[in-house]
Each structure stands twice: as C-alpha cells, then as structure tokens.
Structure 1
Amino acid sequence: MKKYITVLALSALVCSSCSDFLDVQSEGDATTDSYFLNDQQAIDAIDGLYERFHQEGCYGRELFWEQGAACDIVWGRTRGYNTLATLAYTGDESPLRDVFNRMYSTISRANWVIQELVKKEKGTTLTAIEKRSLGEAYFNRGWAHFLMAYRYGTNEQGVPFIRYEDFAGGYDNSIPTQQATVMDNYKMIIEDMDKAISHLPKFEEYDVDNRGRAHQAAAVAFKAKTYAYWATWDETQWKNVIEMVNLLETNYNRDLAKSFAEPFSSDFSDYWNAEYLWTIPSIGGAQPGGSEFPGVILENKGWGKYNGWGQIKPSYDIYEEMLKDGKGNDRLVRSILEYNQEFPYFGEPRKFWSTSDLEAGFMVNKYMDPFKYADPVGEGAVSANGDWPTVRVNFPIIRFAEMLLFRAEAYLMTGQADKATADINRIRLRSNLQPLSGTATMKDLYHERRCELAFEFTDHLFDLKRWHRSANSEIKALAQKELNAHPRIRKYEDRANPESPFTIAPYEDYLSKNTYQDYMIVFPYPSEQITKSNGKLVQNKGY
C-alpha cells in the first residue's frame, strides 16, 4: 500500500493556510500562490487530511471514550474523565475538546484545498489526479463535518460551518456561521458527498498502491448514515437510507464477507473484501501506520510480550447480550475474550486472564488476529513501536453489515418488517447463527446492531441517543434502559488464574450516573470555543 497510509505528512504550506476555525482574531493569509502546480502537491495536501483521522486523538482511541456512557465498555484502566461515562458532560474533557479542534481543523484544511482546486478548475482542466484530489477533499470535509454535526447539532441549532468556495473573492477569515438546525448541516454533508462521488473513481479503478483512498461507494455509505441520523429529526429520511443501501448493492456490488472474521483479518488478501466500504488501512512492522486502537485494547503490557495499553474492555452486559445467541457462537468468540478462552498469541496458544488496574474480566478479540504470529513484528503484522501500537488490519469505519442494519431499521420504521427480517437474517446466517424465528422487531434490530458492531467506531452510544427519540416505543424503552444502567463486570477471586471463580459486580471506577435527559443527545461545546467565538457560537441547551 502507498506510503500515505503509513506516514501522512501535511506540507507546511497547507498547515499555515488555515487558522483556528472558530478564532475571532485572523492570523492572516498564507502564501499559497505557488501551490497546486503539480500532481504531487495535490496528493500531499490530501494525504494530510487523512492523517487527522488516523491520529491517536481521533480514531486511534479518543472518539471511543464517549462510549463509556453506554453499557458495552469500561475503561480497564483509571481515566481522568469519568464524566463521559456518567453523563455529566462539561465539553472540556480532553477527548471531546481535542476531537472538536481536530475535526474543525480538518474542515478548514479541506475547505482550503477545495477553494484552490475549484479556482484552478475555472482556468484550466484539472489533471486526473487533481480531479480525484478534489473529490477526496469534498469527502474528507463531509466526513469531518458529519462527526461534528450529529455529536453537537440538534433540531434547534446546528453546528458552525461554511464553504470557502462560496466566497466570491476568497474566504475572508470570518467566523463560520452556526447553522439554524442540524438538518441544514446534513444537507451540506450530502451535497459534499455528492460532489465527492462526481469526482472520485470507483474503488475497483484504483491501483494497488492507492487502495484506501476515498471512493464512490464510501461516499454513498456516508450518505446512508447521514440520512439515518437525519431521520432522528425527520422520519421521512428513512426512504433515502433504503435508496442508498440499495445503490451500494446494485451499482457497487457490496455484500457481506464470507465470514464474520474476514473483515478483521491480518491477511492483506482479505483487506478489500465485499464488505469493505470505508476503513483506516493499518499496518505494523518497522514503519507502522493506521489506527492504534488494537494496541489500546490489548492487555496492559501484553503479558510481557508487547506494550498493550490495557484500555477499553468489554462489559459483562455486552457479553450477556451476545450470549443470547448461544454459548460459544462464532460472533461472541471472535468479538470477546473471556477468562480461560484460548487464543493464539506470539505463535503459542494461551488462555486469557487480566491484571489491568481496573477489573473487567474480558478483552476485545476482534482485532487480535495480527498477534497470532510467532514474530508478529518481524512478520509486519504488529508495530515495532509499542508506543504507536498499530497492527495489520483494515480497521473498519463503515462496513456493509452496518448498511444492512440501517436498511433493516428503515424497513421497520416504514412498515416493511418482512424486508427487515431478510436483512437481519443475512447477517445472522453469515455468522452461523439461527435465523429469526418470526418477523423482525425493533428488539431484534437493537440486539443485532449492538452485537454485530460491538467495539467498532459505529457509535453505539449515539444509536441509543437517537433511539431514545424514536417514535417506536420498543426501541425507545431499550435505549432508555441501557442509557440509565451501570455496566457490570466479572470480578475474579484470583485474577492471574484463568480458571478462577468469579462474581458479577458493578464496574467500580465510577458508580453513580446521571439520569439521561433529552438534551444529552448532543455534547456541550468546549468552553474555549464559546469564548473564542465572541458570542457567535451558542452553547447547546441544558449545558
């Protein structure tokens, strides 16, 4: 794979062209007159956009701390921001604040790239690389905008956003407008993804060195997800979800991979399977790159073999939910390691046990395949740098199974339960689970989405929050129950003994939790951004 996947460096010119997105005081204009003179400069600018998402402070781990407010994960190690788990949000927790800053920086940089390439396009025909780069810039802007929109925007006020290309004389460094509603943001995200589609190739048109770049089907998948989140406020959008997922099947030949394990394989030949839509392609070895998450979730110090960080552990609650499909089922075994479960590690079989400083009794197993080799670092499957513990796995952001579940949800919300049943059963049969015995209900949808996508960056917490607003009483009740529950763990008498007896107990790092209220569907803006905006940014209600 091309170097941009592993070493993503943004040129100094691009870095200097974008001031803080919400800063009142302009930092002046960068000297960019000599940029975009050749294809390599376009490639460098775009690769710097991808880099922002790959960092530890985004899809590496920071986005996942939010999930502590659901019941699927616990920290595993002491953290300093339990307010994320207890629904006592301040907006200034470092994961929230830093992701906010990083995504608005990405939007600003993407804005600049789009502005410059659109300007160039008016005077000359863009090269094939420049046209693709413009599509990638639209895609990255839409992706970053999407992450901000649903996490901070409501039907009463949207999030700040402007397009530099809308300024006739070039962007004037004004503060971005806070959109009237999040639906206004969603409209612009859809428009960006449509522009991306018009400029991007299909995935199959990329050569081997460029696989992992934005492509048409990835943009369609983001449109489907945007419409699903838009349906939180406008249920008529469910029809668009169905249309987008149908398009992925018919026009882009997307399907489920052969097995549940294939999307998480460390074999390069499995990277671009039928289920692939959008990922962070990751590798190990001497020049590692991608997402650190597989090293973050590995047992602390990796039983003396590797510098695992021991963070983000499965709860007993998600284990219990998966167990409903039968003890030892494929999806459960491949997703979660429990005490005394055998797995291959550094070329040898070992049985799982844990001594992380906060007890959970489980570890995520989804991304452990790269650790099976006798010499995983030498094999190139695991990073040689334990402080940057990426591994060789095509880390999923959106895969086709999620699209089927969104379509199933859309079918249920539009009175087409028979079609929802078919989509859910496709997923269950792929994992050798028994098909549903009757027609699918929202309870089935809740179970499938929770279990199929566990420990992926699909945002289970926001699933709960949007379901809490649903007109469907069944899914609303399930969401309310989980949002107000405290996660449980297995507490072992002898933590170093895989066969030790255990009890089920509440997770002890935080014991109290605020009652979920409707305003908590979004986070509060960081206080520094409210101050910087000089009154232009209005804090979300309730905070």
Structure 2
Amino acid sequence: MKKYISIIALSGLVLSSCSDFLDVQSEGNPTTNAYFTNDQQAIDAIDGLYAPIHQETGFGRELFWEQGAACDIVWGRTRGYNTLATFAYTGDESPISDTFNMFYQNMSRSNWIIKQLLNKKKTTQLTDVETRSLGEAYFMRGMAHFWIAYRYGTDEQGVPFVRYEDFEGDYDNSIPPQLASVTDNYQAIIDDMDQAISYLPKFEEYSDDDKGRAHQAAAVAYKAKVYAYWATWDEGKWNDVIAMVNELENTYGRDLAPTFAEIFSSDFADFWNAEYIWSIPSTGGSTGGGVEFPGIVLENKGWGIYNGWGQLKPSYDIYEEMAKDGAGNDRLVRSILEYNQEFEFFGEKRRFFSVSDLEAGFQINKYMDPFKHKDATNEGYVNTNGDWPTARINFPLIRFAEMLLFRAEAYLMTGKPELAKADLNRIRVRSNLQPLEGTPTMKDLYHERRCELAFEYTDHLFDLKRWHRSSNAEIKELAAKELNAHPRVRIYEDRSNPESTFTIGDYEDYKEKKTYEDYMMVFPYPSNQITKSNGKLKQNKGY
C-alpha cells in the first residue's frame, strides 16, 4: 500500500453472497474455490476492505454530514436530508443508510477472509503475507463493527453480528443475531482487535510500500476507543482506557508530533511521525488516491483555480471556542481560515474570503497544506481530477493526541485530575498555548477535545451524546447546551471583500431543531433492513 494509496476493489468473483448483511433471503455460497492460492490474492482481498472506507460513502464525506447536529460545522450547501442536523432521524437518509450498508458489507467480507484463511491455516502454514492479511481482516472487521455498534447499539439492545468462523463448514447465510447489549458487541470488537494484534506486524516492520496498512498499535488504539465508549455503560472501563494508552506510549513508542502543523503536512517525510496511529495516506497528481475530504471542504470552485466543493464549513461557535486560548493562536490559525487571513494557494499568497453558497464566513484549514504549492496538480500534491479532489496528506483517523485526551478523560472520571492535567498540558504546550493552572475539570477536557480534534473523524457529535449520559454533571450540562443549540456563522456585508464587516447570526439552513433526548444517542435502523430481516431486527426505542 504505497504512500499514494491507489487501492483496487475486491475481485467480483468473491463475496457475491455477502452484499446484504441482513437480508433474510439466502443466496448460496460464494464461488471461491480457487482463492487464496498465492500472496497476491490475499493482498487483493484485503485491499478490497480498505477501498470502500476511502470513498465518499465512508471517510471521504458521508459520515461527516452527521456532525451538522453538533455546533462545530455547518454544511455550506443545502442538502436534502436536514433531519441529520435536527434530530428528526428516520434511518433512511442516504448518508446514514449508505454508510450502514458499507460497514456491514465490510464486516461480511472480513468474515469471509478470516474464515478462508483460518481454514487454510488448519492444513498448511500461512505465508507471512497471509498471516498479516489475517490480522488485517480481524482489524477491519473490528473497525467496521465499532462504527456500527456505537452508532446503533445501546445497553438494552446491541447490533447484529456473527463470526463466520464459529460455524462448522460454510456460513449458512442466516441473519446475524442482534446481540443483547452493545456491551456484547464491544467485547466482540475487543476480541477481534486482540486477534489482530496477534497476527499483525508492528508499524516499524512494514516496508515503505506497505505503510498505511493496519498494524498492532492501531488495534491497541481502537481498543482504547472501544473501552471509552463502553464506559458510557460501565464506568469501570475507564481503567482499561488508561491501560491501553499506557501501552501505546510505553510499548509502541507513540508520542505527539513536535508541531501541530506537522500532522497535516504535505511532505511525505512528515507522514509517519510518532503521533501517527491510523490514517488514510492520500495524494494527488494523475494517479491520486486516498480521501477527497480536502477538496470537499475547499471553497466551492476554489476561487476559479481548482474545483473545490464548498461543503462542511466551520461555525462561529468552534471559532469562538478556539479563540478562548487567545486570538491568532497556533491551533486556531492552523485549523480555521477566517476573512483576511493570509494563506498560500497554488503558489500565490491570498487573503481569505468566501462567496460560495450558504454563508459561513470560514473554511477548514487543517488540510490545506497540499494546495499551497505552485504547480500542485502536476507535482502530485493535488489530484488533477477536480471531481475527485484528493490531496497529499496523511489523513488522520486516530492519532496519539486523541489517545491522550481519552486518557485525560479517564483520569478525570477516576479521580486523578493531576494526571489528567499532565496529558492536557502536553497537547496545549505543543500548540504554544498556555498550560492549564489549578485543578482541571471536565470543562477543560471538553474544550481540549473539541478544539484539538475539530474537523477530524473523531465524532464530536457522539462525544456530546455519550457525555449527555455521563455521571459527571459538568460535562453533561455542556453536552446538553451544545446539542440543543443552533450553529452560528459570520454574515459579511460584502462577501467578496476580505476586509468586510460582519455580524453574527444563525446559520440559515436546517433551523428547526428538536430538543435532544437520550434515545437520539443512536440512529434508527434503515426501514428496508427491518423489512428484509423478517422481524429479526428490532428498531431502536423512540423511533
């Protein structure tokens, strides 16, 4: 998996019967008798697991529409599913139903690969590539399962899951059982990550061509994240969070990158710093691959220079939160472009303004480094195809700063505020912010997690949802306040003038927002999945 991540899809001869995970109709067994006869087939099968999550349905864009229900981003362009931002979920909105299908398809494909490689392992020794591939399949099954579990499962009702390897002979294509509790799902995910660790190499053991694949530390990080979400229902799991982050630091040598900017650098030499844990390495040029998120958040039509899409803009609310650390601080400037802020775009120094679609007054700046280069497309920094605007960046899914924030939260929830303070201050000092003084509280954790991880796939909305169920009154109140607020934006008198005056007002789209209730913590299942399951899939309460 080279730095530019040009990933192929899994061969069409494989997994034709696994395309709909919850379909009641059995479609027979896939035609796979000749598969896994050599290393390249194992590589192709695993690359077919990575490919879908890189596309629009996955981390390219669709998962991020959900964040409109919090107050850190606005959509920038009117969409046809405002229910995602107003807590009037139906489950049938194309973004959430499409990602539901994608993750379940990935679980099915991972299931099949695991089953085939375990069967082969019973009769012959797996090659190094096949052993690694088995670890990757466990990792990808656990990762896909996690994204479904926390977004659809509660302590009273888990999500459907089955392991093909638990069946004698071939999997019978029956509908996976809906587990009794999401905590059962979490345990299954932990089990998969443990299996992944037993088969995967360490990141440092990969050649340059394979960097970007799953590795042991990435599986440990997912365990930390699973335990943090599990702590919603069992606060004893905070101790497991601490143990996992300690392991990342002490066994795997993870640490913060020297500067905040290095994480989002377009220089290949910065891709694999100590903060890296799990990412989608991306690039541009004529063979660009990865995720298109950097182009999606770019100004629509890129001021006539490049085909940005003008979507997912910062709100005034997140700007205001970041500015509490001082106007013009490193983290704010590197995360958000505001009017009259200087930046480089295709070799030209410009002052930011925005005339595209619905007014926001800001643009995400975290992923703009590739666009600064004079000949960014031909030099391979930005995709020559503006309809698939990938850019050279090691797009983070999990980085060590998030792990420190989870450990700090765990320390606060277990009565160790001084240890939490040390972790929070490591993050603040890295961005040249003043260290916290006195005893930190969950309000400090809320601020640091919100600001440090803004506009990343760390799911700020679900942070709010799980905090809304917290036993800590302070974080519960902060979560309720944001969940029930409507995002604000800057409204400029002359949108084409970087020095224009502005007022602050409500974002003009999706204004009618329902009062948040705890049942909204999870999404409703898509109605077609309920129908296909012939009654075996129970809808979530409240929907």
Q: What is the TM-score normalised by the length of structure 1? A: 0.99
Instruction: Show the counterpart of 1:445.
Output: 445
Instruction: Show the counterpart of 2:477.
Output: 477
Instruction: Show the counterpart of 1:269.
Output: 269
Instruction: Show the counterpart of 1:196.
Output: 196
- Following superposition, the deviation at residue 15 of structure 1 comes to 4.0
Instruction: Show the counterpart of 1:2.
Output: 2
What is the alpha-carbon root mean square deviation over aligned residues?
Answer: 0.8
User: Contact 1:19 / 1:26 at 8 angstroms: preserved in 2?
Assistant: no
What residue identity is the alignment partner of 1:150? Y
1:330 aligns with 2:330: yes
Whole-angstrom CA distance in 1 between matches of 2:255 and 2:19: 42
User: Contact 1:17 / 1:112 at 8 angstroms: preserved in 2?
Assistant: no
Instruction: Show the counterpart of 2:111.
Output: 111
The SS at the match of 2:439 is coil
The SS at the match of 1:344 is strand
1:148 aligns with 2:148: yes
Equivalent runs, 1:355-434 vs 2, <5 Å: 355-434=355-434
Q: Deviations over 1:479-503 (max 9, x none)?
A: 0000000000000010000111100
1:99 aligns with 2:99: yes
Q: Deviations over 1:34-82 (max 9, x none)?
A: 1000000000000000011101111000000000000000010111111
Whole-angstrom CA distance in 1 between matches of 2:528 and 2:348: 50
What residue identity is the alignment partner of 1:314? P
What residue identity is the alignment partner of 2:443? K
User: Contact 2:3 / 2:282 at 8 angstroms: preserved in 1?
Assistant: no
Instruction: Show the counterpart of 2:38.
Output: 38
Unaligned runs of 5+ residues in structure 1 are none
What residue identity is the alignment partner of 1:451? C
Whole-angstrom CA distance in 2 between matches of 1:40 and 1:17: 22
User: Contact 1:17 / 1:31 at 8 angstroms: preserved in 2?
Assistant: no
The SS at the match of 1:146 is helix
What residue identity is the alignment partner of 1:445? L
- Following superposition, the deviation at residue 13 of structure 1 comes to 2.0
Instruction: Show the counterpart of 1:16.
Output: 16
Whole-angstrom CA distance in 2 between matches of 1:31 and 1:443: 55
- Following superposition, the deviation at residue 9 of structure 1 comes to 2.0
Whole-angstrom CA distance in 1 between matches of 2:4 and 2:359: 38
Unaligned runs of 5+ residues in structure 2 are none
What residue identity is the alignment partner of 1:367? Y
What residue identity is the alignment partner of 2:134? L
Q: What is the TM-score normalised by the length of structure 2? A: 0.99
Q: Deviations over 1:355-394 (max 9, x none)?
A: 1110000000000000000110111000011111000000
Change over 3 Å in CA distance of 1:342–1:3 after alignment to 2: closer
User: Contact 2:17 / 2:27 at 8 angstroms: preserved in 1?
Assistant: no
1:182 aligns with 2:182: yes
User: Contact 1:314 / 1:363 at 8 angstroms: preserved in 2?
Assistant: yes
The SS at the match of 1:281 is strand
Whole-angstrom CA distance in 2 between matches of 1:212 and 1:527: 36
Whole-angstrom CA distance in 1 between matches of 2:510 and 2:130: 51
Whole-angstrom CA distance in 1 between matches of 2:439 and 2:205: 40
Instruction: Show the counterpart of 2:76.
Output: 76
Whole-angstrom CA distance in 2 between matches of 1:416 and 1:141: 34
What residue identity is the alignment partner of 1:94? S
User: Contact 2:3 / 2:212 at 8 angstroms: preserved in 1?
Assistant: no
- Report sequence identity in percent: 76
- Following superposition, the deviation at residue 17 of structure 1 comes to 4.6
Whole-angstrom CA distance in 2 between matches of 1:233 and 1:169: 36
The SS at the match of 2:13 is helix
Equivalent runs, 1:283-294 vs 2, <5 Å: 283-294=283-294
Whole-angstrom CA distance in 2 between matches of 1:129 and 1:532: 38
The SS at the match of 2:20 is coil
- Following superposition, the deviation at residue 3 of structure 1 comes to 8.0
- Following superposition, the deviation at residue 265 of structure 1 comes to 0.3
Whole-angstrom CA distance in 2 between matches of 1:114 and 1:435: 47
Instruction: Show the counterpart of 2:312.
Output: 312
Whole-angstrom CA distance in 2 between matches of 1:241 and 1:3: 31
Instruction: Show the counterpart of 1:528.
Output: 528
Whole-angstrom CA distance in 2 between matches of 1:415 and 1:14: 51
User: Contact 1:293 / 1:390 at 8 angstroms: preserved in 2?
Assistant: yes
1:458 aligns with 2:458: yes
Q: Deviations over 1:88-147 (max 9, x none)?
A: 111111100000000000000000000000000011110100000000000000000000
User: Contact 2:4 / 2:290 at 8 angstroms: preserved in 1?
Assistant: no
Whole-angstrom CA distance in 2 between matches of 1:298 and 1:354: 10
- Following superposition, the deviation at residue 4 of structure 1 comes to 8.3
Whole-angstrom CA distance in 2 between matches of 1:398 and 1:3: 17
What residue identity is the alignment partner of 1:484? N
- Following superposition, the deviation at residue 26 of structure 1 comes to 1.4
What residue identity is the alignment partner of 1:503? T
